[in-house]
Chain A
């Protein structure tokens, strides 16, 4: 997506390992979303930031999932004690004032073995 960079592109983790996924939107994107996309499914909402404030984390599936955006730009999604069901593509989307301007990164494909 235009200007949204995610790293790593691929991550293989052993079950129980902690992982950190990074999203780097272009400057000026006030809103930042994390989504989880399982194989053959549409993206599902995880959490939302407006600048540095995490305003909605209702989609996080468990307390093993944690996200932060301390300076209102780069965001990190952390998953502790990964489980096989965490295997998915994690997408970051950033937008200006309207959801209609949302641009997605290429995603991080997480495989837990």
Chain B
């Protein structure tokens, strides 16, 4: 079993839909939880990060972390065609210099 599990999809939704992306993990030492967006042939771009448990909102994006269940989520409201990309969850320990452990990524397609 990999440390971080993420359903690769693909996930197809119509414009305006609410999208839910999820990851589960097994390592209870993870403290930082991040979501990256990666467009085709581009590097990952940091969307949001959360420290420990809780929710964080940024515009149309909401990140949730449930450490008791080892489960994290990213919600996208009012999805747009420009949101079509691969979404990667990533996690790390507290110490600086700790490598990020990524999920496989979920490919999202938003149709207009």
Contact = CB atoms under 8 A, between A and B. Distances in A.
Interface of A: 1, 4, 6, 31, 33, 35, 40-45, 48, 50, 55-56, 59, 91, 93, 95, 97-100, 102-107, 109
A103 B97 contact: no
Interface in B23-57: 32, 34, 36, 41-46, 49, 51
A40 B36 CA distance: 15
B45 A104 contact: yes
The 6 closest A-B pairs by CB, nearest first: A42-B102, A45-B99, A104-B43, A100-B49, A106-B43, A104-B44
Contacts of B97: 31, 48, 50, 55-56, 99
B100 A99 contact: yes
Interface residues of B, number: 27
B98 interface: yes
14 contacts: A1-B45, A6-B43, A42-B102, A42-B104, A45-B101, A56-B99, A95-B96, A97-B96, A99-B100, A100-B46, A100-B51, A105-B43, A106-B42, A106-B43
A40 B8 contact: yes
Contacts of B96: 31, 50, 95, 97-99
Contact of B99 (A59, A100, A105, A107): A59
B101 to A, nearest CB: 7
Interface string B59-81: 00000000000000000000000
B21 interface: no
A1 B8 CA distance: 23
A35 B44 CA distance: 11
A91 B99 contact: no
B111 interface: no
